[in-house]
Amino acid sequence: MKTFANANAHDLQQAVTLVQQTRQDGRAASFVGGGSDLLALVKERIVAPDVLVNLKTIKGLDQVTLTGGDATGMTIGGLITLDALSRHPVVRRQYAVLAEAAETVATPQIRNVGTLAGNVCQRPWCWYFRNGFPCLKNGGNTCFSAAGENQFHAIFGGGPSHIVHPSDTAVALVALDARFRVVGPTGERVVPAAEFFILPQQDARRENVLGPEEALAEIQVPSARPGTRSTYHKVMDREAWTHAVVSTAIVLEMDKQICRNARIVLGGVAPIPWRLPHVERMLAGQRITETLAAKAAEAALEGAKPLARNAYKVPLTRGVIHRTLLALAART
């Protein structure tokens, strides 16, 4: 493993400046939260920073704050651990989909150190990338999964890279219509979650819009409208400690038996959290019956392009949407 220096940041602006100065000196720098992803990449020599800028020393960035007085929304500091997020009483009560997504991540040990920002910004877990193949993500010009071992790869939005986005919380945050506050050397900007993640067609080397000197500071979640209920369902190839093969985050705004609005996002099937606006429109203003849920699940898979070894994801995803939708609509 290459040696590196550690720099503890006192605030985000200082963190950003440290990264900028290191890069201006011709050296590489990375932000680090819990380090559970980054240090594995350093050990495997996939990335080689000279300086790690430690964000965990920034005070107050690990809090959940209710904004606008009477709970009109919530701001979550990017440095909150996944464990703290999953246990937070307001998150559990009003934004169950996010608490449920956070508690499905990895293991208790990883959830204790892993941060929300780090989870959202983690690099792909494609075995070609992680094993140092000269693939698109590693600076090469080939995606080896296209004709190789693609059991866990994308069925939507793939090409030229076919990775799936690995973060469970990202799927929930898109479903909640969250916004990401990003801080960089020239100021800050707020990016809707759905625009934060980018497809490989846009840039095959990156998974999101962050520039190399920008940090994800916090996440703003709008208030839950009356009648809103939500859930996260994840299918894994073993009982625990692994990423989603397929997952879905569903948020329904219900008026008695009628669905006023729906947001449905898939995980494990695309290089970004994959939203299904055409399915959401099918549900708006309707009673969610067995028949409608089946039609919605069928429509959800329109346009899927499985690779040679992952066609099983098509019926699996259909089943996950069908069951999760019906169960959530039936909840009182």
CA contacts within 13 A on the Cβ side of 223: 11
Q: For strands 51-54 and 29-32, give the pairing.
A: parallel
In angstroms, give the least distance from the CB of 257 to ligand FAD.
34
Positions 216 through 235 that interact with ligand FAD (CB under 6 A):
216
Site residues for ligand FAD, window 178-217 (CB under 6 A)?
A: 210, 215-216
Q: How far is the CB of 191 from ligand FAD (least distance, A)?
A: 12
**Distance of closest approach, residue 23 Cβ to ligand FAD, in angstroms:** 13
Looking at 117, 283, 307, 325, which residue binds ligand FAD (CB under 6 A)? 117
- At 31 the three-state DSSP class reads strand
30 binds ligand FAD (CB under 6 A): yes
Element (H, E) at 324: helix 313-330
Question: Which ranges of 176-215 would DSSP assign to H, the alpha helix?
Answer: 193-196
The size of the interface with ligand FAD (CB under 6 A), counted in residues, is 32
- Residue 105 binding ligand FAD, by CB under 6 A: yes
DSSP string, 237-277: SSSSSS--SEEEEEEEEEETTEEEEEEEEEESSSSS-EE-H
Neighbouring C-beta atoms of residue 92, cutoff 10 Å: 15
Closer by beta carbon to ligand FAD, 195 or else 255: 195
Stretch that binds ligand FAD, among 89-97, 162-170, 222-230, 319-327 (CB under 6 A): 162-170
In the list 10, 241, 312, 327, the residue contacting ligand FAD (rule: CB under 6 A) is 241
In the bound state with ligand FAD, the residue whose beta carbon lies nearer, of 110 and 258, is 110
DSSP letter for each residue of 268-304: SSSSS-EE-HHHHHHHTTEE--HHHHHHHHHHHTTT-
Q: Which of 132, 200, 135 is nearest to 165 (CA)?
A: 200
Positions in the binding site for ligand FAD (CB under 6 A): 30-38, 55, 78, 105-106, 110, 113-115, 117-119, 121-123, 166-168, 210, 215-216, 241-243
